[in-house]
Structure 1
């Protein structure tokens, strides 16, 4: 191949890699601005109540402090009137700060200190004292899950699966049955980059907002609504994003406060959250679940009942697709799902990588393992015995499904056939060795997207779209698509993204960005090729615009999903209760792989995430005070290098032209799914102990046999 020519599927290194490792990439907290004002938020220390008084005299006396804003002392300038007068609005943003004396949760931002330097603002924020009317609070889900209520609204995605048959009657007479309760603790996103915003106040009152988020256009739309602006008044950029995992799907309070400060002072303002403040907003909700499986003696599922109660806040219902997965993964004629919410005095939860599935698949896949043992069947054989060739809910054909091939490939590479089915059958030194497996499934979607591609006479190509790159490699994949489609070196393709002045793109989330934006770029390049063939060299440059508008009727005829099979080995030291995940093989079918290198990295990161969910990540709550306790990376544990051993990713060839014109689906979520369940199943195989509560910490691993 010629210099720089690439094909779809090749492992192309990241085009922005050099900028990131050399520091030339500028994130939201690093944007240069003249006469920059720094803002630091003051957070409530109570879980529920009212602000009676705020004492800011000491804070205002700090050299460099310009103002302290709170609901009782704010600007009456016309440009802030809508923001304050509209009151609290939880439909657009998780929390609207400074507009009320109400405290809905500990950590709620209740004041903003503005100063010439960050050091002065931070010091002054620590001097603000607040008097509260403290009210009784509740933050304990496990002891009150039976008080959950139905969500106020559920859409097709988050609603429980449509009932089939009579699940309760079928379960009652099933010859083999499993009935178990499960629990998952609160998890926080914790991307490396802190949430930050730099707001530039332009002539005439226009705002240029640099913000960490997952969708420039969607964020601007929400901000315009909150502040009562026309969208044209805001230019929003999220050029580089150091991880988000769902925490950037809605504007966080840093950007709201930065805009309030900029409008109040008519100056440039930056607000950066501390690591501790990263624990004061959305998170994966704590959830209690009960799973009941019934089967005949041959392993055929005859009943499936999945109940879940998830935590939400007092001010907003947060819903996710928790029980839906039990209706889509296996054949079962009798099924019932139930999903309820328990309002607590905590921040509104937020979508977190594989929302709903990371929680909902765990009890299903652990219960399947328990059922296999009760039947005397191999866990993989049980799954194959209940394999769904068509979608169990709705009886639709799959647009593509290679889960069977994932099972076969993963099992062969892992050596699953050598597994001794008896628990506590293998010991090496002081450690018991166990093998476990689980299935993974995620949705495959395409959203409306636009792209413009310009092919210049000198061969250079500009790709323009407001797509986001939250660390997934969007810029690289779009460059690769264009280079491959036009037959030009990838070095000659320049990708421009993450700016509301560019063609509209959806929020990056749900593993749909390549299928959506990538298809728009491919479509524009297809137009360019046809123009070039017709016009030859008679023009200096060619330009094409392409608008992806998914055919909902056509796509709706199919069940669209990605699948995986996860196999893992653990070693358990019973005396210490420690678990080492020594080997993981993940075989995934994710449509056509555009970039093998970035796709593999996504799945590897997902596996690490799954190990964290299984063994490490838990935001502990002090129920007496009603607030999160583990609010830094010293106490909130995530996997580190010593926790990660041999990981292998296998891609099953798949090409899905229903989901996208590229044949691509998505890889962002699937890597983490099934991992926690496979580890739990492996711990049981190693020790004979069933651990149904995440994370599976040493105290749980050492608990008496269940």
Structure 2
């Protein structure tokens, strides 16, 4: 009996039981003997220099082992970390405890090392610093005049600059029958995953360390540690099998990793450094961005002009960029277009990728402007988008590898009941609630990077596959196991996927919705090589029925190789192990994308988001009562984990549109709500009827799996759909996220 293919099956997470029972260990939970604890002291000023600290007084407390500051930290390599951090933007990365200079509010200025966590925390609370302060700038809006183009760098490979101008944008806008323009803003947002950032460093002796870190890239952290501390990469092992959410915050090595390793090497002891919730606001964030749009169409609703400008915040020492303004000319064909992107360097920590970076920012402005243009032209928003449907990506003059966005519109609208929408604003009610329907398009580039995987057939005829990739809670373990199992036609319980360890074959950081495509393709390459190796061994067995056959002539199933035309001719995997002198059979393969082939097409996942809101007419309170997201993302490897990813993006969409922002007091250059009591995210009562549709899409170009990635596509389209629904309900077009009730009173 043949095994049913596992790709496409809704398999539950293999590690789910471990997580819900508490058996899965996270970076700050490993049982390590002779452990010291580090607690970080953060700057209370925004810019200036440290003059002095009362370290001698605090050191007298029994149980305090050491206090590390810029004055006594060990001498380090201090190389340009940009070239050892896969997600580093152009510039000179932040170096903890490097100098007395303060670059941003909350900067780590000391690490207390003690025998217990509680003692280290107490000592940190009484360690005081005297500063010489300097004037600072943290307000993006007040410093827009200092905007400039980003520096070029390696990041442009994954974050391309805006496309070239087309036509005459000013002339086209002046001649347009309908024009829509707007200014769109969103404030700072912080990732706030459930798991706090922690690093446990085990000192193995002779400069060797084993590190348990909260990260989205074990190899990335290995390279970072090796280069900063001048260690051989083989002497640095980073382990991270379970990650309690990342959303981009773990793409770059964060400062607790540096501090933990520094102390372990200096004191030759095991050390754990854990950041508290307020310290989660002291590194990386989604940057506040101010956008301006001007779109125009002819009398029939055909778009004739697209102008999109974005100005975002970055630090003074790095140029963090996002792909904000590239989306409109990719989604909507126009003979005239102009896209501009600028940065304003401020006294803040460098921003960092946050789920759907750039896309969730840019699509808000684009899709709200499109909705307004459709309203002016008195054309249904779906029909307007179909009228301006891009059959090819005109921004780079390439065809799409596949695109089923039309089906997203059709299937999503039917499921949602879009035909019941009265197009007139303020025309639909439910008692004292104004009801609004809104929709928007989503798009996210489908990327693939090089990766390596190892496949091993064990002496019992089972399969082990290895990769250094992490699983940040998306179901990577389960999905990779499904891909591996299908390669050899084995049931899932005969397959083990080992991961989250830098000593395993290379994998890039986990982000950008490229992990399944990247690591999954490497597993397919390793599986293909292993199948060829097994067939070769089978062909050398005396009187073999497989002599002279090609790989296409056989099938691998149930632990056997069988002839396609005569399945009775078979040989067991265990017999192949016996023929291999009882040794395991292994292969290790590097999968490198065919860039020449890929560059001939634009590759993207698409979505259509449909939202119903109710707005209390007297109080202005907004409630998302139901929503549907239809997604076209190529082959869906696991519909269950994929649905969970989209639902998570939809919940975050509600958060982004209505709740989430880090509030700054620019008089102090400080974030004022560094806690989950005042940093508002949705609770269960905010989430109602959410549904997901996966539109069938076949893509033979993106990669061998045909997968496009779904981590980000669930977030980009729904926030503007919420804004559009609020306009339909109230007649008010609000372009500032988050949308609070006071803006509707």
Q: What is the CA–CA distance in structure 1 between the aligned matches of 2:499 and 2:682, rounded to whole Å?
A: 32
Q: CA deviation at 1:643?
A: 0.6
Report the equivalent of 2:237: 235
Q: What is the CA–CA distance in structure 2 between the aligned matches of 1:7 and 1:81, rounded to whole Å?
A: 49
Deviations 1:598-625 (A, max 9, x none): 0010000011111110000000001111
Q: What is the CA–CA distance in structure 2 between the aligned matches of 1:582 and 1:330, rounded to whole Å?
A: 30
> Aligned match of 1:605 in 615, 631, 648?
648
Does 2:688 align with 1:693? no
- Aligned CA distance change for structure 1 residues 593 and 165 (closer, same or farther; 3 Å): same
Does 2:388 align with 1:345? no
Q: What is the CA–CA distance in structure 1 between the aligned matches of 2:257 and 2:721, rounded to whole Å?
A: 39
> Aligned match of 1:538 in 576, 579, 585?
576
Does 2:145 align with 1:107? no
Task: For 1:431-442, list aligned pairs within 5 A.
Answer: 431-442=433-444
Task: For 1:121-136, list aligned pairs within 5 A.
Answer: 121-136=120-135
- Aligned CA distance change for structure 1 residues 84 and 308 (closer, same or farther; 3 Å): closer
Range with bigger deviation, 523-532 or 684-693: 523-532
Q: CA deviation at 1:459?
A: 2.9
Q: What is the CA–CA distance in structure 2 between the aligned matches of 1:527 and 1:92, rounded to whole Å?
A: 41
Report the equivalent of 1:420: 422
2:193–2:246 Cα contact (<8 Å) kept: yes
Report the equivalent of 1:297: 299
Report the equivalent of 2:43: 44
Q: What is the CA–CA distance in structure 2 between the aligned matches of 1:146 and 1:168, rounded to whole Å?
A: 22
SS at match of 2:370: helix
1:87–1:100 Cα contact (<8 Å) kept: no
Report the equivalent of 1:456: 458
Q: CA deviation at 1:86?
A: 10
Report the equivalent of 1:65: 64
Q: What is the CA–CA distance in structure 2 between the aligned matches of 1:301 and 1:84, rounded to whole Å?
A: 50
> Aligned match of 1:614 in 651, 657, 660?
657
Report the equivalent of 1:561: 604
Report the equivalent of 1:584: 627
Q: CA deviation at 1:8?
A: 1.1
Q: CA deviation at 1:46?
A: 0.6
> Aligned match of 1:529 in 522, 528, 531?
531
Q: CA deviation at 1:486?
A: 1.7
Does 2:162 align with 1:160? yes
SS at match of 1:406: helix
Q: CA deviation at 1:229?
A: 2.5
Q: CA deviation at 1:533?
A: 3.8
> Aligned match of 1:497 in 489, 499, 505?
499
- Aligned CA distance change for structure 1 residues 331 and 84 (closer, same or farther; 3 Å): closer
2:91–2:319 Cα contact (<8 Å) kept: no
- Aligned CA distance change for structure 1 residues 84 and 52 (closer, same or farther; 3 Å): farther
Q: What is the CA–CA distance in structure 2 between the aligned matches of 1:325 and 1:85, rounded to whole Å?
A: 33
Does 2:689 align with 1:646? yes
- Aligned CA distance change for structure 1 residues 73 and 470 (closer, same or farther; 3 Å): same
Does 2:675 align with 1:632? yes
Report the equivalent of 2:549: none
Deviations 1:487-546 (A, max 9, x none): 222112111001111111111111011111111112222233333344142324322222
> Aligned match of 2:223 in 221, 224, 227?
221
Task: For 1:157-196, list aligned pairs within 5 A.
Answer: 157-196=159-198
Report the equivalent of 2:590: 547
- Aligned CA distance change for structure 1 residues 416 and 67 (closer, same or farther; 3 Å): same
1:58–1:124 Cα contact (<8 Å) kept: no
In structure 1, the gaps of 5 or more residues are: none
Deviations 1:359-383 (A, max 9, x none): 0111000000000111111111111
How many pairs align?
697
Deviations 1:444-487 (A, max 9, x none): 01110111111224232111111111111111001111222222
SS at match of 1:29: coil
- Aligned CA distance change for structure 1 residues 86 and 434 (closer, same or farther; 3 Å): closer
1:88–1:99 Cα contact (<8 Å) kept: no
- Aligned CA distance change for structure 1 residues 92 and 453 (closer, same or farther; 3 Å): farther
Q: What is the CA–CA distance in structure 2 between the aligned matches of 1:246 and 1:125, rounded to whole Å?
A: 28
SS at match of 1:322: coil
Q: What is the CA–CA distance in structure 2 between the aligned matches of 1:235 and 1:193, rounded to whole Å?
A: 21
Q: What is the CA–CA distance in structure 1 between the aligned matches of 2:35 and 2:617, rounded to whole Å?
A: 56
2:634–2:707 Cα contact (<8 Å) kept: yes
1:206–1:234 Cα contact (<8 Å) kept: yes
Range with bigger deviation, 58-67 or 384-393: 58-67
Deviations 1:2-28 (A, max 9, x none): 8x9652100001111111111111111
TM-score (norm 1): 0.96
2:453–2:523 Cα contact (<8 Å) kept: yes
- Aligned CA distance change for structure 1 residues 94 and 696 (closer, same or farther; 3 Å): farther
Does 2:20 align with 1:27? no
1:167–1:305 Cα contact (<8 Å) kept: yes
SS at match of 1:201: strand
Task: For 1:18-417, list aligned pairs within 5 A.
Answer: 18-75=17-74, 80-83=75-78, 94-153=93-152, 155=156, 157-417=159-419
Q: What is the CA–CA distance in structure 2 between the aligned matches of 1:457 and 1:92, rounded to whole Å?
A: 51
Q: CA deviation at 1:84?
A: 9.9
Q: What is the CA–CA distance in structure 1 between the aligned matches of 2:387 and 2:249, rounded to whole Å?
A: 39
Q: CA deviation at 1:205?
A: 1.4
Deviations 1:224-263 (A, max 9, x none): 2222333222111111111101001110000011011111
Report the equivalent of 2:556: none
Range with bigger deviation, 214-223 or 266-275: 214-223
Deviations 1:98-129 (A, max 9, x none): 11011011000010000010000000001111
Deviations 1:419-442 (A, max 9, x none): 100000011122100000000000
2:534–2:576 Cα contact (<8 Å) kept: no
Q: In angstroms, what is the RMSD of aligned CA positions?
A: 1.9
- Aligned CA distance change for structure 1 residues 664 and 84 (closer, same or farther; 3 Å): closer
Q: What is the CA–CA distance in structure 2 between the aligned matches of 1:518 and 1:88, rounded to whole Å?
A: 26
1:158–1:319 Cα contact (<8 Å) kept: no
1:92–1:226 Cα contact (<8 Å) kept: no
Q: What is the CA–CA distance in structure 2 between the aligned matches of 1:401 and 1:228, rounded to whole Å?
A: 48
Report the equivalent of 2:554: none
Q: What is the CA–CA distance in structure 2 between the aligned matches of 1:28 and 1:5, rounded to whole Å?
A: 37
Q: What is the CA–CA distance in structure 2 between the aligned matches of 1:263 and 1:33, rounded to whole Å?
A: 16
TM-score (norm 2): 0.91
Q: What is the CA–CA distance in structure 1 between the aligned matches of 2:344 and 2:229, rounded to whole Å?
A: 31
Range with bigger deviation, 94-103 or 687-696: 94-103
Q: CA deviation at 1:55?
A: 1.4
SS at match of 1:327: helix
Deviations 1:373-416 (A, max 9, x none): 11111111111111100111122111111111111110111111
